[in-house]
Structure 1
Amino acid sequence: MDNQKLTSLHLISLHHAEFGQFIVRFFEDFSQTSLDANTDADFKRMFDALQNQIPNYNSALDQIRASEESEKIANADKVRDTDVQALKDSIKPYRNAKAQTEKDAYTSIKILLDQYKGVEDASYEEETNKLNTLITKLQSPEYSSQVATLGIVKFVNHLSDSNTAFNDLFAHRSYQTSQKQTYDVKVLRKTLTNDYRQMANYTATLANVKTDAFYKDALAVINNGRKYFSDVLARRSGKPSPPKTENNIKK
């Protein structure tokens, strides 16, 4: 009888999202077969315990994504705040301008910018709305000649671009219910990994000692996902795929 083994896979090298996909892949592959988890009560218990952990793990991943998005949003806000300051600084050289046209342009733009003093400290939504209005005015015929006279078109454009970039990012941020509850993805992953190892090792062991085809077929399902993600890791590292079988699952 052929020795049934688990396909080699270094689970710890999978990113958190990949690990979640790896677990889900097992259940998707299993559902495509005629196998019945109820064939073995112990297998069914481990099968259900593993499946029941998926929602919380996915919520933890959502929490990570939301946190990453929040950081990106904060960084985008810093960029546009810097552009606001750059726009204000761009007209300063004209405070003591000798040419009347430059004096008039400076005064006009300065009065406009003063209406938006402290805009950088407003809430995200309020700052976006105020900057939209400011930029629209600066790009309108009413102020186009003053902007051209002072040569600050590029500063207006920079602010317009960074404000648009912020708004696009903010508009597509995730509203995750996971924010109502804190999840520790490392702890959840450790438990999920241990339970997966137990089920996979159990299946591999019985595939070698039982005559029931269920265990061999279930092991084939497990190894299908393991082979796929082993290849993913191999492509990422640029190294050849590792040997296809092992006696124990690596951490």
Structure 2
Amino acid sequence: MDEDKSNNKNLKTMMQKLTPLDSSRLPHAEFGQLMVRFFEDFASSSLDVTVDSDFKKLYNALQLQIPSYNAALDQIRASEESKQIGEFDHTRDLDMKALRDSLKPYRNSRIQSEIAAYASLHMLLSEYKEVEDESYESETNKLNSLVARLQSSDYTSHVATMGIVKFINQLADSNTAFNTLFGQRSYKTSQKVVFDVKELRKSLAADYKKMTTYIATLATVKDDAYYKDVLAIINNGRNYFSTVVLARRTGKKSNVEKP
């Protein structure tokens, strides 16, 4: 009997946790749908957002951004060129991550040349922390600078020691490809859109994280069904999109219904 109670307690604790979701892996449209699904699910419930004034502020702040974000998405959908720009940007973001990851095997090296190379390159890359979150033009300029520095005589020996030239070349190629396409864009249809969607998403993601963290915390520490019910609504959408991300990673088709 005690074991059953313990199992039930553990199950309830698990249900009160926020479903893990790497939302950065969601394309812009899917990230927007994650927001839409939360508001639709909440509106379909019998829950009252005014029960908690702090939650209401977070809820409203998030909701106010949706129209602008959706408008930016509509403009992007109307332009195949802009869609390609987003895809090319995502590719160079992945290449930047691959470059950072290529240093990791050398973190605990005991070979002096590798220790020195890791320290030097790690310090250099730290200057470009979160460059993927910059506006498109700012990111392009900073990646151009990074590649140029990595290919200079100051770092060539370290790059050779660590055998990471292919990762630098990949980043150089994908950044050049992005810049070429971006330079061909129509000023009227692309310039404002491509800047807005990235900045809007950054703000939306930050506010979404605040709200979900707040609810998850209170669902754990408060003996109040309200917060647990709100968390269940949040997790409903997160469960779906975490499955989508996992399926995309493994190359398998998701068999869950579309939102």
Q: Scaled by the length of structure 2, what TM-score is found? A: 0.48
With normalisation by structure 1, the TM-score equals 0.50
Structure label with greater radius of gyration: 1
